[in-house]
Chain A
Amino acid sequence: MKFLVLLIGEGELPAWDTLTEEEQAAGLGKFEEFDAACRNRDGVSIVSGEALAPMTSATVVKTRGGKTTLTEGPYAEAVEGLGGFFLIEAPDLDVLTELLTILPAYDMQIVPAVDQV
């Protein structure tokens, strides 16, 4: 099944722009390690994944009574801190959460995609 993994916050980690270059490199190294671990695991693949631009650049789309409006905010709470996402194919939640421990210890939210019959 497919899972959307939302990286929603830095958790206990210091903010990215306060890190030294070496610390940032170590953080990126964890993403590469995660990538490799997913490739090597049976039944697991990263379908897609991106880091996202700061939320100040996001746009809210609403359609009311057939009329679509675009606004800057208000943003959904969980999405305010959204830093990136993965779409990952994995056999189950346990396999996925085990692999996710390789990443920096972000706060995350895992949402399964609905199976397409």
Chain B
Amino acid sequence: MRPAAVLDEVWREDWGRLLGQLMSRFRRADLVEDALAEAFAQAAEQWGRVGVPENPPAWLREVARRRILDALRREATAASKSPLLAAGLAWAAEAATPLPGADVDERLALLFMATHPALAEDVRPALALRFVLGVPTSEIAALFLVPTPTMAARLTRAKARLASAGIPFAVPDLDRWPERVDEVARAIYLAFTSGYAPVGGQEVVRLRVAGEAVRLAVLASELLPGSPVLEALTALLQLQHARRDARSDRGRLILLADQDRSLWHADEIEAGVARLAALSPGSGYAEELRLQALIAAFHSTAGTAEATDWHALARTYARLEALTGSPIVRLNRAVAVAEYAGPAAGLALLAEVAKQLPGHHRVALVRAELLRREDDVVGAVSAYRIALELCPSGTERDHIIARLAELERA
């Protein structure tokens, strides 16, 4: 294999494990991550010239380790003014004893550390992608729609906080798992949904990073087997990501009903459905994700939009609504109800949603679509106009404009 290919594979397979091993020795997120990234950069430069070492991960770990020791020595020198003493201090900084439970995969501790509640919520998904999978900062920046230097600064601040605030590099006690695993799931879900925010540009990178979020979910559910919230999350992400190639066409959003279903990844849908089938109803965030996965599965397993089991979908939305009280969920339920009970039934439900979400463009949009199907052209046109007034620019707005033009021609 070519050196670059080997390095890519080591990056993909071993980044998190290497970072975890170095963290457990040095407990300094701020130094360790930079040092490992530098070791990879050195490998990219050196392996091409002198060949791939016999044990690539061990080579990278050793180079990173020396860089960390150098950095510690520099710090100690600055603090103590005595280089000799400083050298000793740097060596002493390596944790002498392995962590309790050292047989546990270190990537699990990394995942818990990156999603610790003492960190700002919006930096957790970025840290998890960077730490556990080694996703490049530039790609994480593209995912969250910020310039690379901004994301780099955000990660640097978070790493400094990890090193100074006393946030442990450890798998938390069992009695803290329920809440902590929820935090892990929320961070991964946020990383994934950011990749699907309907915006133009950099679409390819964003999709790739969303794919990395799916990989992170799969890894998390392997590291914490039997966790309902992670199983439900993984099923949901697999099912949604399987539709990626059909979701847009040159930046234009394609609605579910209009998607070319032959572009969906059948193997991924199968994996998601199998995972989902093994789950039983639960409670809290795990149940919320399970119901969402169930909804995704109803869509993914229908041969055509018409063949969708709208009854079952509406029932699932009703359960999700009872659990979350979300008016957006109720809006979706209204759409499902309209599909099997007719537009009038949907419109009745929609009237209640409108009270909870005044001024929301999507309520007006759904109302317009249902009125159009009722052949109430005047009502539909006026509802589309309201939706247009409220809708921010983007693919949804283009859709409204197209529909209006169509109706006004007729």
Contact = CB atoms under 8 A, between A and B. Distances in A.
A94 interface: yes
A1 B163 CA distance: 11
A117 B166 contact: no
A95 B172 CA distance: 10
B76 interface: yes
Interface string B287-304: 000000000000000000
Contacts of B80: 117
A93 B89 contact: no
B76 A94 contact: no
Contacts of B176: 94, 98
Interface in A24-64: none
Interface residues of B, number: 15
A47 to B, nearest CB: 15
A112 B116 CA distance: 16
A96 interface: yes
- Secondary structure at the B interface, as helix, strand, loop or mixed, is loop
A11 interface: no
Contacts of A110: 166
Interface in A78-117: 90-96, 98, 110, 112, 117
A93 B168 CA distance: 7
Contacts of B79: 117
A41 to B, nearest CB: 12
A117 B76 CA distance: 8
B171 to A, nearest CB: 10
Interface residues of A, number: 13
A36 to B, nearest CB: 19
Contacts of B172: 94
Nearest to A1: B166
B118 A93 contact: yes
A93 B76 contact: no
Interface string B219-257: 000000000000000000000000000000000000000
B168 A94 contact: yes
B132 interface: no
A106 B345 CA distance: 51
B30 to A, nearest CB: 13
Contacts of B116: 93
A96 B166 contact: yes
A113 to B, nearest CB: 10
Most chain B CB within 10 A, of A1, A3, A92, A110, is at A92
Given A93-B118, A94-B176, A117 B89 contact: yes
Given A93-B118, A94-B176, A117-B79, A112 B165 contact: yes
A112 B164 contact: yes
B76 A112 contact: no
Nearest to B175: A98
Given A93-B118, A117-B80, A112 B166 contact: yes
A92 B29 CA distance: 14
Contacts of A95: 168
B170 interface: yes
Contacts of A112: 164-166
B320 to A, nearest CB: 31
Interface in B58-114: 76, 79-80, 89
B40 to A, nearest CB: 29
B89 A92 contact: no
A95 B170 CA distance: 11
B167 interface: yes
A91 B169 CA distance: 11
A2 B168 CA distance: 14
A30 B118 CA distance: 25
B167 A92 contact: yes
Contacts of B170: 92, 94
Contacts of B76: 117
B181 to A, nearest CB: 15
A3 B164 CA distance: 11
A92 B170 CA distance: 10
Nearest to A112: B166
Contact of B165 (A91, A93, A117): A93
A5 to B, nearest CB: 11
A105 B353 CA distance: 38
Across the A-B interface, give the 9 residue pairs with the lowest CB-CB distance, nearest first. A92-B168, A93-B166, A117-B79, A92-B166, A112-B166, A94-B168, A93-B167, A1-B166, A112-B165
25 contacts: A3-B166, A91-B168, A92-B166, A92-B167, A92-B168, A93-B116, A93-B118, A93-B165, A93-B166, A93-B168, A94-B167, A94-B168, A94-B170, A94-B172, A94-B173, A95-B168, A98-B173, A110-B166, A112-B164, A112-B165, A112-B166, A117-B76, A117-B79, A117-B80, A117-B89
Interface of B: 76, 79-80, 89, 116, 118, 164-168, 170, 172-173, 176
